[in-house]
Chains A and B, each alone.
Chain A
Amino acid sequence: MNNALQLKNVSKSFGEAKIIKNLNLEIKKNERHAIIGPNGAGKSTLFHLISGHYKLTSGKITLNNDEINNLEPHEINRKGLARSFQVTNIFPKMSVYENIRCGILWSMGFKYSIVRLVNGDKKLNEKTYSILEEINLKHCAHIPAGLLSYADQRALEIGITIAGGADTLMLDEPTAGMSNSETERAVNLIKQISEKRTLVVVEHDMGVVFDLADRISVLVYGEIIATDTPKKIRENKAVQEAYLGTEDH
């Protein structure tokens, strides 16, 4: 199987409310897959289910053929899945450099050590700077992350997400709240970092979606009503009715 991520009959209920209903989804390795849908369709819930934040009510999720539905978030991350958040989720009191460095620590085997010093480690330092370059934040490496502009913080968010070297990335509305130029910059960054990785993106900005995605899945009321290439999705009558038709851009 060439699937990075696979969801089989996944359901999630909160008490009586069925948010996700018998969902099936296959994300192919190295593809860029976008998930779109109207507000309240359950996109964030879906992300939380995959990344281990919520427990499934029923169903199965596999990552590279490993079952992950009962694992803790940190265990899932260690298996190669990293995500970003809709509301910027960085370490505001730490410098930009330290934010990225923390993201790298586990992947380089530092674990919970109290005998190694992080400041002197050359490899760690180099890796941190290379990621800072990738996300174009090298110039503000030593500024407290909380003081960055919104767009820079979003870039940092992506930086932390890729720092650990995960090969499956989930980005939750990465361009939310951005101006046109900021969006363009963000999309270029995302294209760059997802070159050799699998990317799952939740987005509202249709321009971004159609520009970025190899395939698109449409989530409506907790069910996927279509999964196909951007062109076919645009032409899909059901999708138009449920979603695209009301979308003015």
Chain B
Amino acid sequence: MINFFKSFSTWIIIAVIAAILPLIFDSSFSLTLLSKMGVLIIFTVAYNMLLGQGGMLSFGHAIYFGLAGYASIHILNGIGEETLPYFPTVLFPFIGAIVGLFFGSLVGYVSTRRAGTAFAMISLGFCEMVTAMTLIFVIFFNGEDGIQTDRMVGPEPFGITFGPQIEIYYLILFWCLVAVALMYIITKTPFGRMSNAVRDNPERAAFIGYSVRRVRWQAFALSSMFAGAAGSLHALNYEHIGFESVSVVQSGAVLFMAFIGGAGHFLGPIVGAIGLTYLDSTLADVTEAWLLYLGLTFSGIVMFAPGGLAGLIVMHGPIARTDKKLLISLIKPYCLAISSVITGLIGLIGIIEMLYFRSLISKGEGEVVIFWTEFNANGIMSWLIFIALILVGIFLSKKTFPLAKESWDHAISVVKTEISNE
């Protein structure tokens, strides 16, 4: 009982903070960014129902997001032209949810016949199919231009037109809280637990009476439903929908967010969505190489920390619980290791930035600004400095990583002895 209230009050606090945010960050840039984050949080958490909770990798989840968006835009336009009866804007995520659920159930029924790599390939196939269809069936999808709409339709209860960005933000915030709360509750249901079980050991799950196929299909359908809800909010937010919303690129984006944030933990995708959306808006202006860094980070996480950021944090949980001093003992070796990596990274970033500068800006003349300092990309000095940094970084890492690993191993073995002594 107490726990429930504790969790509930956490939600309230988060809701209140989120509601105050636009009053603090009130530029239109911030508002747009916050709105975008809200939509993507729903989408990413929904995607993680499949990836992290269910153990299914899909390259085509944007289908439900985008199709729900298209449906919403059409209906909104229909209301505007008065060919369709009025439907309150606040309830549009329901439309998206129904569309998502419908298509998700269909595609899911067929896809969940297979698992693993085959499942991933089927999802890619469907995604490409739908993307191709949006460019072919111009009547429905209007090809490359996409479809515009005006969200200021119908009566205006309490003077709320949903014209201003701030009103849309609160709408998105509301649905974000509702959707995420629902998805959280679902993890605590019999279905939610079995979804985890099927992820961890499908063979075993079958032998405790559950149809693995049915569990996966249900996860797929529910995940698509919430993705659809996000899709309609996306359409409302931008008043536009285009073929990129169903594409592999969009599917890949949500995959990155969920995975980098940490697919194994409920909060992971939320962290990923917020973090990557923020970086995407800010870093993309600072450096041409933003997407390259993103790709490198993603691959790095796959190779070294497949649990994502959330995973890295959570894996220290048992250590913290056993003995806080153990956790503190890790700080020094970690700091050393991290600094060595950062040194090397600075070098790498410098080289990449200079390469971009030289290729994209017509064999760049003059100076390029990296880390707020000017470097001459045409002179040899800058190159040498960064290469030196890379080499130093590699050298230091070779020294500091074994130390960090040792401390980690030690801490874990202490934890394990504690457990077996219980």
Contacts and interface: CB of A to CB of B under 8 A. Distances in A.
Q: In the complex they form, do A and B come into direct contact, defined as C-beta atoms under 8 angstroms apart?
A: yes
B200 interface: yes
A30 interface: no
A214 B210 CA distance: 32
Contacts of A72: 206, 211
Interface string A49-89: 00100000000000000000000111101100011010001
28 contacts: A51-B207, A74-B210, A77-B208, A91-B196, A91-B204, A92-B201, A101-B193, A102-B193, A102-B205, A105-B193, A105-B209, A110-B190, A112-B191, A112-B194, A114-B189, A114-B191, A116-B189, A116-B190, A117-B185, A118-B188, A118-B190, A140-B422, A143-B419, A147-B416, A147-B419, A149-B420, A160-B204, A161-B207
Contacts of B214: 112
Contacts of A111: 190
A93 interface: yes
Interface of B: 185-186, 188-194, 196-197, 200-201, 203-212, 214-215, 218, 222, 416, 419-420, 422
Given A74-B210, A111-B190, A139 B197 contact: no
A93 to B, nearest CB: 6
Contact of B188 (A83, A85, A94, A119): A119
A163 interface: yes
Contacts of B206: 72-74, 77
A205 B209 CA distance: 30
Nearest to A82: B207
A227 interface: no
A91 B186 contact: no
Given A112-B215, A143-B419, A98 B193 contact: yes
What are the 3 tightest A-B residue pairs by CB atom distance, in nearest-first order? A106-B209, A110-B190, A73-B206
A115 interface: yes
A107 interface: yes
B193 A92 contact: no
B422 A106 contact: no
Nearest to A121: B190
Contacts of B190: 105, 110-113, 116, 118
A85 B204 CA distance: 9
B211 A74 contact: yes
Contact of A90 (B186, B204, B210): B204
Given A74-B209, A103-B208, A105-B193, A117 B188 contact: yes
Nearest to B195: A112
Given A111-B190, A112-B215, 7 more contacts: A72-B211, A74-B212, A91-B196, A91-B200, A93-B196, A118-B193, A163-B208
A42 interface: no
Contacts of A116: 189-190
A139 B420 CA distance: 10
B207 A94 contact: no
B422 A139 contact: yes
Choose among B194, B203, B207 the residue with the greatest number of A CB atoms under 10 Å from its CB: B207
A37 interface: no
Nearest to A73: B206
Interface of A: 51, 72-75, 77-78, 82-83, 85, 89-94, 98, 101-103, 105-107, 110-119, 139-140, 143, 147, 149, 160-161, 163-164
Nearest to B415: A147
Nearest to B200: A91
Nearest to A78: B209
A197 to B, nearest CB: 16
B191 A113 contact: yes
B269 to A, nearest CB: 17
Contacts of B204: 85, 89-91, 160
A116 B201 CA distance: 23
Choose among B190, B206, B222 the residue with the greatest number of A CB atoms under 10 Å from its CB: B190
Contacts of A89: 201, 203-204
Contacts of B205: 102
Contacts of A92: 200-201
Contacts of A119: 188
B201 A115 contact: no
A112 B201 CA distance: 17
Given A89-B201, A89-B203, A101-B193, A114 B222 contact: yes
Nearest to A108: B190
Contacts of B420: 149
Nearest to A79: B209
A113 B45 CA distance: 20
B416 A102 contact: no
A163 B205 CA distance: 13
Given A91-B201, A140-B419, A147-B416, A83 B218 contact: no
Contacts of A112: 190-191, 194, 214-215, 218
A85 B191 CA distance: 24
A139 B190 CA distance: 24
B186 A114 contact: yes
A89 B211 CA distance: 17
A74 B186 contact: no
Contacts of B185: 117
A11 to B, nearest CB: 24
Contacts of B208: 77, 82, 102-103, 105-106, 160, 163-164
Contacts of A73: 206-207
A160 to B, nearest CB: 7
A106 B222 CA distance: 20
